[in-house]
Structure 1
Amino acid sequence: MKMITEKEKIEYQDSSYGWKELNRPATVCAAVNAVKNSDRYAKYRDIFTIVYNKKTNKASFDFAETVAEIDVGTIKEIHSEINKIPNMHALPIDLFGEVYEVLASKKTKKDLGEYFTRRHIIRPLLAIFVRDTDVRNIVNRYGTRKHIKIVDPFCGTGGFLTEFYKLLSNRIGNNSEIDAVQLANESFYGYDINPSNTTRTKINMYLAGDGISDVEKRDSLALSDTDVTKALDTSNRQEKFDYVVTNVPYGKGKIAVNPAVTNNKRLEINALIKVVSILNPLGRALVIIPDGILESPSLASIRQWFVKNCKINFVVSLPKFAFAPYTKEKTYAVSFTKRDTALCSLEELTSTDERFWAYIIDNDGYANSDKRFATGRQDENGKWMHNELSVWYDKNGAVHKSLMEEKYGTEGREQKEEERFYNEWGKEIPGKKYGFIRISEVLKEFTVNYNKITRLKSVFSDLSRCDAVLNEEQKEYIKQIAKKSDCVKDGALKEEYTELFAWMGVLYDEEDECFYDLQNPIKVHQVNLLPEKYFRNISIEEITVEELSKEVANIKRELNNLFKDVMKW
């Protein structure tokens, strides 16, 4: 209510209500009733009924009813404490993000798949994501039917949206032709399956200075609307956006949003597919995803689909402890542009100059441990020693960009050969920190797969497969092979068929108990997108068998001595 009264006047039935009057249950309830009976209620509804019964979608908590049950003395005490808080509009903090991180239990976050990205990480990522051309485009289309649409489909407490809005407001400056509130209302959208999160996002967007944007409860991964939850971009209602900024949910899911891409139901995989789906052609996205999507061999087909449909702009490796102590899963920030037309084959990229910028964050200003305390060390010039993400001030008070922003520049830069970087213990970090990675280089790594043979007769009836010259007896042997029992006994290929199978290009796998066609290998591009693979792939020193034997003997000797000491003790 303090927030609302700071933003606009509340009037109803010849009465007006300001913050000073809201120190008694009766006036608080009257003010809430005034808001409910105004055209502004749609913006504030979730603030007054923020807890829902999931089965009925009805409010199980009502602010006005609760206030009416509190005695006058307690209300006055609450009012007095809140009154100590300064004007909250356009505060440079994420109020509810900080509250959530402190108060929400680890189990709650795991159940919801929610580990909200801290603002010190979001700000510099958006700084290199939002280009000057983006700002001009947003301004030029402001107030038109084709205004820019920016969405976070898994908004949490609204960190990406509020920081995007703040960045945009700062870049636009004092442009008298731009109404910041209208810009936010027409361009910013936020959805979350948790209604409490949408409430927090609305308040945080207000605190950022925008009023209330289009933020509501939705299940962005649902295939269609239900009686209690609205879906996003369904077959019956297309909803496309120009920019998507989000940290995807993680964990086990129940839905595959696009079976044509994959039947995998993991939340993070389907969230990425959904992001690509809701982007307009040439629309751009910034998403934070776990490392498995970018390098797991079992997800190679997802990455193949991804690079055929999107051009990667940059990949930033976040510290392992970015979400500690709740999870230490390695994560990456990936920026990409949806292609105007999807590529038919990866071979189209092997001869191009397409590349993406990559950066490895080794230090984000906090300890690389579960404790995550601020390090705060600076050199003699005032530059951060263990913080690559924050701006810094020199002795003259001049502000300087963060290390990551500095190295990115306007379109990404290549690391100089003489540049060196050091970890928190002062040791030189081997390999590169930043630079470009060519897609053609990424596509060089591939594995070879072979199709399983389900019908032996169809294979062995085709004698053209055989490179050797067969005599009549051998041909008869081959023609007789129609089923597994004809050539396999006691789990192994019959000896008399070994040579024939080699000639025909067929392999029997005793462990899997199936046949493979070796004459038609399938080339599978791994599309590994981890910057560490290309920047920090340190070669392993080779040793001889004799040297290895000596090392093993030394280890055995040390273990024996240790065992003797333990027995004495």
Structure 2
Amino acid sequence: MAKTKKKQEALSVSRLINEVLVAQLSIPFRQIVNDTTFSKYTGSKRPDILISEFEYDGTNDEQYIKNLVAYAEAKDDCKVDDKDWKDALKQGKTKAPKLGLPYFIVTNCKTTYFYNAKTLKQLTLNGNPIREFQTIDIYRLIKNKLTENPNLDSINTNVDSISTISEAIFNKKLWELAGVYRGINFKDNVQKIDFTVGFVALEYFEEKEEIDGNKDASKVYWSTCNDEVAEKIKNNLSGYISRLEDETTFKEFKNVMEVVRIAISGDGKNKPLIGVDDVKQIYGIIDSMKPLHGTGFDLFGAVYEMFASSKEKKDFGEYFTRRHYTHIFSKLLLQDEDVYNKKKEFSIIDPACGTGGFLTESFKVLLNNYEKSGTLTSEAREFLSKKCFYGVDVRDENISRTRLNMFLVGDGHTHMYSDNSLKPTRQGKNILNKKYQYVITNPPYGSGTIKANTEAISTNRTEIAFICKVIDLLEIGGKACIITPDGVLENPSYKKLRREILEKCEVYAIVSLPKFAFAPYTKEKTYALFIKKRSNTITKIQDKPVWMYIIDNDGLANSDKRFPTKLRNNRNGWMHDEISGWVSTDGIEMPGVLEKRWLTFDDSETKSNWIDEKGIVQTARKGGNIDIERITSDNYETLLPEYYLRPYSPHYINEEEFANELKKIDDEMRRVLSEIS
């Protein structure tokens, strides 16, 4: 019996390593060692799981152990605090110091706890208990913090690559849900996505009530829905949804909650889509996601990325922006808003908000800024929740999702409206006739039916109409970030438009995104255009230079598939991700490359070297200030970063080389024709 249990445990640990640590958390497989004796350090006792900075080749024991970042004891099929769990605690307390680690992990391959090796207290991350394996960044951070203070049990961080529940951890839970969903006949993926987001929102509502101090112990909540009997969980959830719809402000999300209620309880005519056992399983998985407060990422976007088909992603592409772009551009646009000042409150609008990716990230950026500066007062929270954020989108279903997405990230969902920003109705005019300090948006591209509000050119191109609308929405001195296709910046017929922008605004930065930035949604070459409004009328062209920068790698493969490659250097910095923040091997939080270089980087004297995702060294200019005289002296007043930073140099060949090339083509054509005949 013991041998069978040991065999099952080994299988569970193997699956944990392959399916979670490697597949979900992107930890290199060769940096993970399982059930191996390191007699010099732990004698005959074998640590179950070790994770190091270096790959283990069977001979480099000292190098591997000296650079450990995590150690875990695994006990399959045990319960927290039972005999086996306590045995793992005892082993961890003994082995961790011998391995040079100030903390250790205990897991039953489903639930995972982190412990201080000295005090045996559970570790928390940003005030919340750690209940899942984490990314390698967090292991480094924990090791560093506890090495500095061995008695510490609360880890706090503001680094971009870490959040209360990291997106990687959340994706692991979505992966577990996907396993349950295989046996459920959803009508389509949209229903699957709305069901998932709605189910998550039910849990989050209770968290928010607790945070706001509004929880009523006499009422039904998410936590009171739990039961050993699956049928009771289903009935409790149905009653919980009905209560939220009848008694709370959460009823404004009724359409999403109804997707959940009908799926688990039926609609009177049709049987429930999801059986009670599956409901119980889904409830358990989402319950284990807690806490969701302060996740700091586009929750709807994460669910969408997991469950949408390629076709749906292409259809959805006109209003979906990947989270790592929405975050960094929100952070750069709002970098001066580091302190809450009641006398200088401001407003932000996205006139093509889609599901609210830019708005949710802006909320998190400001919340984080105010926390860091110590100005996150009750007035600041009220400002963020009810006064600061505005969103407009032409699709009703998008606004419903934006409201819920904002609610899930912390709030700020009050001023979200369904309307056409280019041709608003009476209600929309109240929002779109106001002036804003900030505008951030990724508007749709292509031919439209509404003429752009500009005297420079006559066009119905939607991207140009939105740029004109953004300038109109800004107050004097207001700033905007607009994602725009390359034609706006280089098309010769748009020369007068570019001059008008340079006259009305200060174009202070243009960032080139990789060709596949939004693949598979679209392969349109795109740019982030940063402007500051100077005038409502035509005035003298700006005299300040334009800072331009080219992002070559954003952490995802430059292809349609866009999988994360996560290549790092030996200090843990990203080698091909210029967007994400990171944690060094010393556990020090570091800003991303773009943020660090923002508005100051200039490699005009010496070209930059970087390593692409294939590990090949590339050399070219990355960024710098382009004098306005250089732009205006160009025949078309081009604003394309590549035009100035990486001008195209044609390769000329002589007549002999040309003849050789023609002969090769002729030989190949003759070969193909002979095969056909």
Fold shared per TM-score above 0.5: yes
**Equivalent in the alignment of 1:280:** 475
Q: CA deviation at 1:533?
A: 0.5
Asked whether the 8 Å contact 1:7–1:211 carries over to 2, the reply is no
Work out which of the residue numbers 326, 329, 340 in structure 2 matches 1:125: 329
Which amino acid in the other structure matches residue 150 of structure 1?
Answer: I
Question: Any residues of structure 2 matched to 1:256-405 within 5 Å, and which?
Answer: 256-258=451-453, 260=455, 262-344=457-539, 348-349=540-541, 353-405=543-595
Work out which of the residue numbers 616, 626, 634 in structure 2 matches 1:437: 626
Taking a change above 3 Å as real, the CA distance of residues 216 and 124 of structure 1, as seen in their structure-2 partners, is closer
Asked whether the 8 Å contact 2:452–2:462 carries over to 1, the reply is no
Taking a change above 3 Å as real, the CA distance of residues 551 and 18 of structure 1, as seen in their structure-2 partners, is same
Work out which of the residue numbers 531, 545, 561 in structure 1 matches 2:667: 561
Alpha-carbon distance in 1 for matches of 2:456, 2:218? 58
Asked whether the 8 Å contact 1:377–1:386 carries over to 2, the reply is yes
**Equivalent in the alignment of 2:646:** 536
Taking a change above 3 Å as real, the CA distance of residues 259 and 243 of structure 1, as seen in their structure-2 partners, is closer
Say yes or no: does 1:413 pair with 2:601: yes
* 1:416-450: CA deviation from partner (whole Å, max 9, x where unpaired): 6235223525555454211101222111122xxxx
Tell me the secondary structure at the aligned position of residue 318 of structure 2.
coil
Question: Does 106-115 or 532-541 show the bigger shift?
Answer: 106-115
Say yes or no: does 1:49 pair with 2:251: no
Alpha-carbon distance in 2 for matches of 1:197, 1:366? 26
Which amino acid in the other structure matches residue 400 of structure 2?
Answer: T
Asked whether the 8 Å contact 1:310–1:342 carries over to 2, the reply is no
Taking a change above 3 Å as real, the CA distance of residues 296 and 78 of structure 1, as seen in their structure-2 partners, is same
Tell me the secondary structure at the aligned position of residue 608 of structure 2.
coil
**Equivalent in the alignment of 2:301:** 97
Which amino acid in the other structure matches residue 551 of structure 2?
Answer: I
Taking a change above 3 Å as real, the CA distance of residues 109 and 271 of structure 1, as seen in their structure-2 partners, is farther
C-alpha RMSD of matched pairs (Å) = 3.2
Taking a change above 3 Å as real, the CA distance of residues 568 and 397 of structure 1, as seen in their structure-2 partners, is same
Tell me the secondary structure at the aligned position of residue 389 of structure 1.
coil
**Equivalent in the alignment of 1:509:** none
Taking a change above 3 Å as real, the CA distance of residues 46 and 271 of structure 1, as seen in their structure-2 partners, is farther
Say yes or no: does 1:3 pair with 2:204: yes
Question: Any residues of structure 2 matched to 1:102-251 within 5 Å, and which?
Answer: 102-105=306-309, 107-108=311-312, 114-132=318-336, 134-136=337-339, 139-140=340-341, 142=342, 147-173=345-371, 174-175=374-375, 177-179=377-379, 181-184=381-384, 185-208=386-409, 210-225=410-425, 230-232=427-429, 238-251=433-446
* 1:452-474: CA deviation from partner (whole Å, max 9, x where unpaired): xxxxxxxxxxxxxxxxxxxxxxx
Asked whether the 8 Å contact 2:297–2:361 carries over to 1, the reply is no
Asked whether the 8 Å contact 1:90–1:206 carries over to 2, the reply is no
Taking a change above 3 Å as real, the CA distance of residues 225 and 423 of structure 1, as seen in their structure-2 partners, is same
Which amino acid in the other structure matches residue 545 of structure 2?
Answer: R
> TM-score, normalised on structure 1?
0.72
Q: CA deviation at 1:290?
A: 0.8
> TM-score, normalised on structure 2?
0.61
Aligned residues: 455
Which amino acid in the other structure matches residue 318 of structure 2?
Answer: E
Asked whether the 8 Å contact 1:12–1:34 carries over to 2, the reply is no
Q: CA deviation at 1:37?
A: 4.6
Q: CA deviation at 1:281?
A: 1.4
Tell me the secondary structure at the aligned position of residue 93 of structure 1.
coil
Tell me the secondary structure at the aligned position of residue 416 of structure 2.
strand
Q: CA deviation at 1:123?
A: 2.5
Taking a change above 3 Å as real, the CA distance of residues 162 and 256 of structure 1, as seen in their structure-2 partners, is same
Tell me the secondary structure at the aligned position of residue 16 of structure 1.
coil
* 1:55-80: CA deviation from partner (whole Å, max 9, x where unpaired): xxxxxx77666665366946556544
Alpha-carbon distance in 1 for matches of 2:406, 2:215? 26
Which amino acid in the other structure matches residue 301 of structure 1?
Answer: K
Alpha-carbon distance in 2 for matches of 1:440, 1:178? 48
Tell me the secondary structure at the aligned position of residue 440 of structure 1.
helix
Q: CA deviation at 1:112?
A: 5.8
Alpha-carbon distance in 2 for matches of 1:567, 1:260? 57
Alpha-carbon distance in 2 for matches of 1:32, 1:130? 37
Taking a change above 3 Å as real, the CA distance of residues 301 and 17 of structure 1, as seen in their structure-2 partners, is same
Question: Any residues of structure 2 matched to 1:4-43 within 5 Å, and which?
Answer: 4-8=205-209, 16-22=219-225, 28=237, 30-38=239-247, 40-41=248-249
Tell me the secondary structure at the aligned position of residue 307 of structure 1.
helix
**Equivalent in the alignment of 2:73:** none
* 1:237-271: CA deviation from partner (whole Å, max 9, x where unpaired): 72221111111112332222526455422221211
Taking a change above 3 Å as real, the CA distance of residues 12 and 379 of structure 1, as seen in their structure-2 partners, is closer
Alpha-carbon distance in 1 for matches of 2:251, 2:474? 29
Taking a change above 3 Å as real, the CA distance of residues 12 and 30 of structure 1, as seen in their structure-2 partners, is farther
Alpha-carbon distance in 2 for matches of 1:19, 1:186? 29
Tell me the secondary structure at the aligned position of residue 609 of structure 2.
coil
Alpha-carbon distance in 2 for matches of 1:560, 1:91? 61
Q: CA deviation at 1:166?
A: 1.5
Taking a change above 3 Å as real, the CA distance of residues 199 and 384 of structure 1, as seen in their structure-2 partners, is same
Asked whether the 8 Å contact 1:47–1:199 carries over to 2, the reply is yes
Alpha-carbon distance in 1 for matches of 2:503, 2:524? 27
**Equivalent in the alignment of 1:551:** 657
Taking a change above 3 Å as real, the CA distance of residues 113 and 306 of structure 1, as seen in their structure-2 partners, is farther
Asked whether the 8 Å contact 1:222–1:232 carries over to 2, the reply is no
Taking a change above 3 Å as real, the CA distance of residues 376 and 340 of structure 1, as seen in their structure-2 partners, is same
Tell me the secondary structure at the aligned position of residue 391 of structure 2.
strand
Taking a change above 3 Å as real, the CA distance of residues 175 and 542 of structure 1, as seen in their structure-2 partners, is same
* 1:83-136: CA deviation from partner (whole Å, max 9, x where unpaired): 33322221233221122234445555555662522122233333332233x334
**Equivalent in the alignment of 1:470:** none
Alpha-carbon distance in 2 for matches of 1:563, 1:321? 33
Q: CA deviation at 1:318?
A: 0.3
Question: Does 241-250 or 93-102 show the bigger shift?
Answer: 93-102
Which amino acid in the other structure matches residue 627 of structure 2?
Answer: R
* 1:530-564: CA deviation from partner (whole Å, max 9, x where unpaired): 11100000433556xxx2x3233212322333344
Alpha-carbon distance in 2 for matches of 1:396, 1:301? 52
Alpha-carbon distance in 1 for matches of 2:325, 2:214? 41
Taking a change above 3 Å as real, the CA distance of residues 387 and 65 of structure 1, as seen in their structure-2 partners, is closer
Question: Any residues of structure 2 matched to 1:462-477 within 5 Å, and which?
Answer: none
Question: Does 283-292 or 210-219 show the bigger shift?
Answer: 210-219
Taking a change above 3 Å as real, the CA distance of residues 297 and 6 of structure 1, as seen in their structure-2 partners, is same
Tell me the secondary structure at the aligned position of residue 286 of structure 2.
helix
Which amino acid in the other structure matches residue 353 of structure 2?
Answer: C
Asked whether the 8 Å contact 1:115–1:326 carries over to 2, the reply is no
Asked whether the 8 Å contact 1:218–1:232 carries over to 2, the reply is no
Asked whether the 8 Å contact 2:206–2:215 carries over to 1, the reply is no
**Equivalent in the alignment of 2:637:** 527
Rg bigger for which structure?
1
**Equivalent in the alignment of 2:86:** none
Asked whether the 8 Å contact 2:511–2:528 carries over to 1, the reply is yes
Taking a change above 3 Å as real, the CA distance of residues 105 and 561 of structure 1, as seen in their structure-2 partners, is same
Which amino acid in the other structure matches residue 246 of structure 1?
Answer: T
